Amino acid sequence: MSKKEDIKEEVINTVEETQQVEESQEVVEESVKEIPTAEELILAEKDKFLRLFAEFENYKKRTTRERVELFKTAGQEVMTSLLPVVDDFERALSHIEEDKESEELSKGVLLVYQKFYNTLEQKGLSKIETNAGDVFDAEFHEAITQIPAPSKDLKGKVIDCVEKGYKLGDKIIRYPKVVIGQ
């Protein structure tokens, strides 16, 4: 081999090596572009943190709201089971008042009834006022029967309240049972 050929081959090798180095540099530069910067990583982690914090705050608010609702209606079963006792007291008082001989008994039963009912009211129980002549509303009344209206102005209205309704806080625990005019 001659010196020219050696030089030519050396130049070709050098050119090939240069091309390989350039290709390697391009691959490295592309890889570097794909690697996120520290600032981008920090922003991504900050975003994750803020979302997680907001989700936790929403969870706390929801559980607090649920707990308050639970405390408001925690006694609903007890109150519902005591309502027939209130009804019995009211029936007893109406029958005792008719008998004039048992005035002392009437006073005693009335006193016990008032204490009992006041205690229930302090725990959030309240009556749903329903009077004859009120407009029937299916959201607040339970119609047990319909009778022919005694007058035209009582059509679709409450004629009689058979059983009183009660609310515990804002929630109706027993709907008033009414008779409506047809």
Q: What is the pTM of this model?
A: 0.60
Q: Containing domain of residue 111, as a range?
A: 75-123
Q: Tell me if 1 is assigned to some domain.
A: no
Q: Which residues of 67-87 are buried (b: 16+ CB within 10 A; e: fewer)?
A: eeeeeeeebeeebeebbeebe
The dihedrals phi and psi of 139, each to the nearest 5 degrees, come to: -80, -20
Q: Tell me if 34 is assigned to some domain.
A: no
Give the Cα separation of 135 and 144 in Å (integer).
15
137 and 181 fall within a common domain = yes
131 and 182 fall within a common domain = yes
Q: Tell me if 70 is assigned to some domain.
A: no
Weakly modelled stretches of the chain, pLDDT under 70:
1, 31-34, 73
pLDDT at position 31: 67
Q: Tell me if 18 is assigned to some domain.
A: no
Q: How far apart are the first and last CA of the chain?
A: 124
pLDDT at position 23: 79
Final residue before a domain boundary, out of 123, 143, 161: 123
Pair 139, 173: CB distance under 8 Å? no
163 and 139 fall within a common domain = yes
Alpha-carbon torsion, ordered 159, 162, 131, 127, to 10 deg = -160
Give the Cα separation of 118 and 126 in Å (integer).
10
Q: Tell me if 65 is assigned to some domain.
A: no
Pair 182, 149: CB distance under 8 Å? yes
Q: Residue 176: give its domain's CATH number.
A: 2.30.22.10
112 and 132 fall within a common domain = no
Pair 169, 124: CB distance under 8 Å? yes
Q: Tell me if 131 is assigned to some domain.
A: yes
